[in-house]
Amino acid sequence: MNQMFQFIFFITIILWKLFGNCKAETTPFPVGVVLDTATLVGKMGKTSISMAVDEFYETHQNYSTRLVIYTRDSKNDVVEAANEVIDLLNKKQVKAIIGPQKSSQAVFISNLGDKAKVPIISFSASSPVLSSITTPYFLRSTVNDSAQLAAVSSITKLFGWRQVVPVYEDSDYGRDIVPYLVDELEKINAKIPYRSVIALSATDDQIKKELYKLMTMQTRVFLVHMSAPMAARLFMNVKQVGMMSKGYAWIMTDGITNIVDSFDPQVIDTMQGALGVKLHVPRTKELNEFSFRWKRRYQKEYPNEEPAELSVFDLWAYDAVFALAMAVEKASGSNGDVLKYIQEEKFNGMSGEFHFVDRQLKLSTLQVVNMVGRGGRGVGFWKPENGLTSTSSSSNYNGVLNPVIWPDESTEVPKGWEIPVSGKKLRVGVPVKDGFFEFVKVEHNPVTNGSIVTGFCIDVFDTVMQSLPYAVSYEYIPFEDSKGDSAGTYNELAYQVYLQKYDAIAGDVTIIANRSQFVDFTLPYTESGVVMIVPIKEDERMNAWIFLKPLTLDLWLGSLGFFFLTALVVWLIEHRDNKKFKGSPCEQVGIVLYFAFSTLVFAQREKVQSNLTKFLMIIWLFVVLILTQSYTASLTSMLTVQQLEPTVTEVEQLIRKGDFVGYHKGSFVKEKLINELHFDKSKLVPLGRPDDYAEALSKGSSNNGVSAVFHEIPYLKLFLAKHCKNFMMVGPTYKTAGFGFVFPKGSPLVPDVSRAILNITQGSKMVAIEKKWIGYEDKCQEQDSLLSSHRLNFRSFEGLFLITGLTSIISALIYLVWLFLEKFNIPVMVKAMVSKYFKKIETKALIFKRRSAPVCSGSSTSMDANSSDIITSFSQTPGSPSSIEEYVIETDKDD
């Protein structure tokens, strides 16, 4: 029995071995793979593809199709890659191709795929110029390079860098990203001052030569975008020339960051302190297990190679094979197009969500890594919809990163630029003027055959540059022609910075809109505004009507109005009972007028009787006292101090009369007068030196001169410092931005210089410089005092008039109310009631006293004399109660 059982079991095992593992017949699907198999990315990609085929069909044994892989080496050459693709299409009849590895190869091969109607799937060709519109059969299971540039831009903005120098290889992969980088940086007002292009065939000496050139420039922020082998060579040389030190900032794109963990340790050591961006792939149990299997397989396939770390490119290659295998199976069952089904595939692969959008993978989350130690240390994340954050939480985007360790183990954020010690001096242009030399003066030095530049603007610029936290070497270069005269207008001078003939401009250059279109200005360091100066005319001191001038018209009228109001209220209250205020209507009007004006000298003859009137007069006399004293003081000033006033006070007056007005030759003020103030162009006279101003104003508009000169406040203050006895600034101030120093667009010096200007203008240094060169405050203080004597106006006494007006109105109302009550005898009735009430109280008190008085033996109730008088009055009054008690009882009943 046991033998029979053993025989049956043995036969069962044999049959299971023979038929149990039999698989259904599968249809092969030839797939070509084109990689640069000598490169690290190529080797790693090849491992991922072969591993994906094996693992996919181990878990999908029921599939009726199977991918058959034919691998070819493109040998890092575009033509060779194309030849291999043609060979695969013709000889192997492949129906899909995975690869090529590089964007330059993909541009040409994608066209071959379109013609053969064979899908081309690349997991590493990320150039943004590969258009899915013109190449419908080209798919890439990777992210477009341009997608990461928004993250680079966010990092640049976070650290306040204004300039970035891209360092890229001279290939389609390197060059194609630059236009997109420019666009992203422009969004944050950052610039690319220089592009460093490294040839693929460059030697180490040539790379160093380019790096030395970068060291002589100001920018210290570099974006590296190149293939892994070129990046390794670059950073080795960067470290050797000393550019991986404090103050430098290096950012790597994902093409480098994604595989940096597989670099040689010596190469990684040269990258310490750099930042990089790469696709964020969450670590899961499945990914960890896959990473272990992948490393083991890679070492098995390449036993002589250094161990490699899994990169996102390998994950994309692995997931691309899965997507293709599933699409092939679906297409075979429905006789459909593989291209269609592979674009519809959507699953969670090793790299995360795998789904084609516009024939490429959609960017989800990038990780910002800091090269510290053996590998990259994550310092934050970036998502398209939220930007930067220091945490991976999708609900907590704070716009910052975790602390970064910069090159040379520095924790201080690089400023982004430096003035190189070995670099050339800044070329600072200065205007050559024909007047107002106090601002800028250029003189020829016969000894050195150079120029000596002095002036207010020069002193300010020197002070500002010396206060910067770093040394800046510069030299002044006059903007002059061969004769030593000015080479052009201020607009033309500013444009020289745009043309890179000057690195900056120090001078009296006004900040205006059209200039700021091609240069950057610092904050202003002078007052702003355009005003006019006009001649001064002297008042006649013995003018017959000078006694009216201390008070303005509104104060005269207001004072008269309150004079009459007060007199009218006094008359209203007094005329009924006071004989002094009685008489015929004409007499009463005369009394009111006389009373009103006599209060000015406190000599009124009419005596008032009412307490209301007396209170009102106290308030009114207080007001009159202040008015007369103020009037006396102002009149005394006018009679003893010389009075000056401008010949013109309003711009409209000049336009209405058609007067000629002057402006400084070559100044933007001319356009302002025409376009904003609407002066006739024919009425504008260009003037040069300050002496020309004085001469033209002295002649006047009717004598081939001008009635006014328009210019900026700093110039006119300087002019008045010498001519303040004859001219003065008047009229409204038309706003301008003031003087500023000029720098090229995006210059990193602008923020630091502007901060230095703020510190200087708010301190004593600017006061000292202004006093040295202009001195307006000291020289024109006397004129200011002459012109500062203002006439008294109604607004100055509003409070006093309010008090006296309310007092008059309240007094009048009280008096009228009293008259109304008297008409109905209400005061008499009230008086009687009050008298009766108090008499009743007094009687009750008497009774209480009488009852409570002590009684002596044999005598009557004690009573004082006053009580006797009250009792006597009751007994003698006809019809009165017979006793005090009866009177009280009756009055209580009445109550």
User: What pLDDT score does 139 carry?
Assistant: 93
What Rg value do the Cα atoms of the chain yield, rounded? 50
- Please say whether the dihedral angle defined by the alpha carbons of residues 756, 761, 767 and 769, taken in this order, is positive or negative: positive
pLDDT in tens, 543-595: 666 677 777 788 888 878 887 787 778 777 777 666 666 667 776 777 666 66
pTM score of the predicted model: 0.60
Report, as an integer, the average pLDDT of 508-528.
90
Q: How many domains would you assign to the chain?
A: 6
779 within 8 A of 540, measured Cβ to Cβ: no
Same domain, 224 and 330: no
Q: What is the pLDDT of residue 394?
A: 59
Is the confidence at residue 316, as pLDDT, over 90?
yes
- For residue 19, the model assigns a pLDDT of 47
Q: What is the model's pLDDT at position 370?
A: 95
pLDDT of residue 668: 87
Question: Residue 462 above 50 pLDDT?
Answer: yes
Which whole-number Å values give the CA distances from 563 to 309, 555, 619, 642, in the listed order?
101, 12, 12, 32
* pLDDT tens profile 150-177: 999 999 999 989 899 999 999 888 898 9
- Residue after which a domain boundary falls, among 612, 640, 668: 640
Q: At what angle do helices 553-574 and 798-823 cross, to 10 degrees?
A: 20
**Which of 365-374, 773-782, 833-842 has the weakest average pLDDT?**
773-782
CATH code of the domain in which 444 resides: 3.40.190.10
Smallest CA-to-CA distance from 710 within 680, 678, 742, 687 is with 687
Residue 890 lies in a domain: yes
Same domain, 765 and 627: no
pLDDT value, residue 34: 96
Same domain for 333 and 439, yes or no, is no
Q: In CATH, what number is assigned to the domain containing residue 68?
A: 3.40.50.2300
Pick 870 or 152 by higher pLDDT. Answer: 152
CB atoms closer than 10 angstroms to residue 241: 16
In the chain, what percentage of residues exceed pLDDT 90? 40
Domain stops at, among 640, 675, 691: 640
390 vs 134, 156, 398, 861, CA distance in Å? 39, 15, 7, 106
pLDDT tens digits along 583-642? 677 767 776 666 666 665 554 555 666 777 778 777 877 887 888 888 787 777 766 655
Judgement on whether residues 349 and 305 belong to the same structural domain of the protein = yes
Q: In the prediction, which pLDDT does 87 show? A: 94
415, part of any domain: no
Query: CA dihedral in degrees (180, 183, 188, 191; nearest 10)?
Result: 90
**Residue burial 638-664, b: 16+ Cβ < 10 Å; e: rest:** beeeebbebbbeebeebeeeebbbbbb
Beta-carbon neighbour count of residue 598 at 10 Å? 14
Find the helix or strand (DSSP H, E) in which 614 lies.
helix 611-640
DSSP state of 678: -
Is the residue at 656 inside a domain?
A: yes
Give the strand order in the sheet containing 120-122: 65-73, 27-35, 96-98, 120-122, 138-140, 360-361, 352-357, 346-349
Sign of CA dihedral 763, 765, 769, 772: positive
Q: In the Cβ-directed half-sphere of 95, how many Cα atoms lie within 13 Å?
A: 17
- Separation of first and last alpha carbons in the chain: 141
- The answer to whether position 529 is within a domain reads no
pLDDT bracket for residue 335 (50, 70, 90):
low
Same domain, 298 and 265: no
Share of the chain above pLDDT 70, in %: 82
Asked if residue 248 and residue 174 are part of one domain, the reply reads yes
- DSSP bridge pairs for 122: 140
**Cβ(39)–Cβ(100) under 8 Å?**
no
Residues 6+ apart with CB under 8 A from 101: 34, 35, 36, 39, 41, 42, 45, 74, 122, 124, 125
In a domain, 8, yes or no: no
**CA separation for the pair 626, 634 (Å, rounded):** 12
- Domain range for 460: 426-521
* Nearest CA-CA partner of 190 in 751, 571, 864: 751
Residue 791 has pLDDT above 70, yes or no: no
Spatial distance between the Cα atoms of 630 and 636, rounded to a whole number of angstroms: 10
Alpha-carbon distance of 519 to 163, in angstroms, equals 15
Axis crossing angle, helix 40-59 with helix 228-241, rounded to the nearest 10: 140
pLDDT at 1 over 80: no
377/338 same-domain check: no
Q: Are residues 101 and 194 in the same domain?
A: no
Sequence-ordered alpha helix ranges (H) in 280-396? 285-301, 312-334, 338-344
Q: Is residue 633 in a domain?
A: yes
- Over range 685-701, report the average pLDDT: 90
For residues 594 and 574, give the distance between their C-alpha atoms in angstroms, rounded to a whole number: 15
Instruction: State pLDDT tens for residues 356-372.
Output: 988 888 888 899 999 99
Model confidence over 33-90: pLDDT tens digits? 999 999 989 999 999 999 999 999 999 999 999 999 999 999 989 999 999 999 999 9
Residue pair 256/234 in contact by the 8 Å Cβ criterion: no
pLDDT of 884: 52
Q: Which residues contact 28 (CB under 8 A, 6 or more apart)?
A: 65, 66, 68
Name the DSSP class of 702: G
CA 178, distance to chain mean position in Å, is 28
Query: Is residue 363 a contact partner of residue 376, using CB atoms and an 8 Å limit?
Result: no
Tens of pLDDT, residues 293-306: 999 999 999 998 88
Give 440-454 as a 3 state SS string: CEEEEECCCCEEEEE
Residues 228 and 307 in one domain: no
* Residue 601 maps to a domain: yes
261 and 398: one domain? yes
Rounded to the nearest integer, the mean pLDDT of the chain is 83
- Close Cβ partners of 192 (under 8 Å, ≥ 6 residues apart): 163, 164, 165, 166, 178, 181, 182, 185
pLDDT value at 398 more than 90: no
* Residues 426/503, Cβ–Cβ less than 8 Å: yes
Which pLDDT does position 785 carry in this prediction?
45
- Overall average pLDDT of the 483-505 stretch: 91
Comparing 577 with 438, the larger pLDDT belongs to 438
Torsion, Cα 137 138 141 144, to 10 degrees, reads: -140
The answer to whether 160 and 414 are in contact (CB under 8 A) is no
**Does residue 7 sit within a domain?**
no
What are the C-alpha distances in Å from 542 to residues 107, 417, 426, 632, 636? 97, 70, 64, 16, 12
pLDDT tens digits for range 215-251: 888 899 999 999 888 999 999 999 999 999 999 999 9
Q: Which two tokens stand for residue 734?
A: 């038309």
pLDDT at 10: 57
Q: Are residues 619 and 673 in the same domain?
A: no
- Structure-model confidence comparison of residues 330 and 835, the more confident one: 330
Higher pLDDT, 693 or 666: 693
Residue 455 reports pLDDT greater than 90: yes
Residues 503 and 557 in one domain: no
Is residue 403 reached through a cis peptide bond, with omega within 30 degrees of 0 on the bond before it? no
Look at 355-364, 398-407, 831-840 and tell me which has the smallest mean pLDDT.
Answer: 831-840
Q: What is the mean pLDDT of residues 876-889?
A: 52
